[in-house]
Amino acid sequence: MRHGVSILLFVTLVWGTTFPLLKSAAGSLSGVEISALRFIVATACMAPFLLKASRQAWKDGTLLGLLALVSYVAQAYGLQHISSNRSAFLTSLNVLMVPLLGVLAGARLAWEVVLAAAVACLGIGLMSWEGGGNVAGDTATVVCALAYALYVIALSRCSHRHDARHLAATQIAVMAIAGTAWLLVSGSADGALQTLANRATPHASTLLYLGAVATAGMLFLQAVGQRQVSADKAALIYAMEPVFAALFGWLWLDEQLGWRGALGGALVIGAIVLSEWRAANRAAA
């Protein structure tokens, strides 16, 4: 269990670095363009594992890939309208959505998980207070959080059935195919394809990092980590993402975090500690 938690915390740290990078790239590229290009890079990295994937891995990978695609594109679109801090905080509402969706599906929750999720959401709320709102950006980012909550639940249910490399490769390939199709349709309609290369070139290193490290590498590690961690516990760990995002947003974009944001971040960290403390007590009993 602890090994899985450590893996997911590292994944969350890397994700935190993507928010300021996405915010910078969103000034020149649309959410669909960023997503399609990063998925193409990620697919190239995972190509050796595609041929060995089973039919069931492709089936589960298709579901996961489509859910992840909606989440990534909605997040990137939202970042065109709101700060990276606010985006990270709203995205992390999935920490509450995952256990609620689990209850609707008939799952039972431990009281400490419910309490930790409530504390984390209070912290996220305080942190999101720091950024200015925008209806389009906020709505898109909430859609991102819902799609990601469904992704976390689906991944927990199917990760045990597959080699993590095959499951990551298939979902990335689906994301690349669907994202490219989306890009071609939308780009043809507004003529954006003609200028895509010129607009993407200044962000080449960012797109390579997003594709190879933040997508291919982290989806693989996420599949490994969630074999050992339940969906609701994983969602709680992912609540650390806005804390890391706030740190990197401050370091790279000079985005400021006031006392409400700092208090909110402390509450999110406290929720993680609370969850782990209760788990340690049960293991020692």
Could you please report the per-residue DSSP string of 89-155? HHHTTHHHHHHHHHHHTT----HHHHHHHHHHHHHHHHHHTTSPP-HHHHHHHHHHHHHHHHHHHHH
Planar angle of CA 15, 80, 137, nearest 5 degrees = 90
**Distance in angstroms (rounded) separating the CA atoms of residues 21 and 19:** 5
**Distance in angstroms (rounded) separating the CA atoms of residues 122 and 119:** 5
Say if CB 193 and CB 248 are below 8 A apart.
Answer: no
Q: Quick one: CA dihedral 232, 74, 261, 12, positive or negative? A: positive
**Distance in angstroms (rounded) separating the CA atoms of residues 79 and 58:** 31
Phi, psi of 226 (to 5 degrees): -80, 0
Q: What is the pLDDT along the chain (285 residues), one digit of tens a residue?
A: 567 788 998 998 898 888 778 878 888 888 788 889 999 999 999 999 998 899 999 999 999 999 988 997 888 788 778 876 677 777 777 777 777 777 776 666 666 667 777 777 777 677 665 555 678 888 898 899 899 889 988 988 888 888 889 999 999 999 999 989 988 887 776 778 888 999 999 999 999 999 999 999 998 998 888 888 877 778 778 777 777 777 776 666 666 666 676 677 677 767 766 665 555 444 444
Say if CB 15 and CB 214 are below 8 A apart.
Answer: yes
